[in-house]
Amino acid sequence: MKKFQMPIRYDTSNISEEYCIEVSNKFKALNATTEEMRPEELANKAKEIFTEASKHLKTKQQKQKWLSDEALQKMQKRIMAKSKGQHHEDYKKKAREVKQIIRRDKKKYIEDKCEQIENNFSKNRSRDAYHIIKSLIKHFNQSQS
């Protein structure tokens, strides 16, 4: 079986107005010439426009809610150490630090959520408490053995 690959998400929040107009003009020109083209040619031209536009856009970074900025910085340092081909022991040390920080951040996040759940139950807001519980459990993947 093939693994399902998530679609690439692009950050469209910082697109300039001029670039939007430029891309829309390309599609208008393509729309004007549709009567002379075959469907395959039209699809190829549209695909070219999309791929060219995607080169100018940045992809969104998928960040976990519980990761701290410190963890992200350490991750970048680890990636740089691996790409530079530094000593294997240096990379291992940085990877160990990253794992420890990630575990600490996740533990803190879960403890905070548990406190929120307890507060909601003590204030008789069970709906909010169960909503938080559902959000915690939703992303849990049970390991198969």
Closest-CA residue to 68 (of 107, 94, 96): 107
On the CB side of 8, CA atoms within 13 Å amount to 10
Query: What distance in Å separates the CA atoms of residue 23 and residue 10, rounded to the nearest whole number?
Result: 16
Whether this prediction's pTM lies above 0.75 is answered by no
Nearest residue to 23 (alpha-carbon basis) of 56, 46, 53, 44: 53
Burial class (CB in 10 A: 0-12, 13-18, 19+), 46: middle
Please give the average per-residue pLDDT across 122-129, as a whole number.
93
C-alpha–C-alpha distance, residues 135 and 120, integer Å: 15
Cβ proximity of 89 and 96 under 8 Å: no
pLDDT at 144 over 60: no
43-92 pLDDT tens trace: 888 888 878 877 777 666 656 777 888 888 888 888 888 877 767 778 88
The 10s digit of each residue's pLDDT in 17-42 is 888 888 888 888 877 777 777 888 88
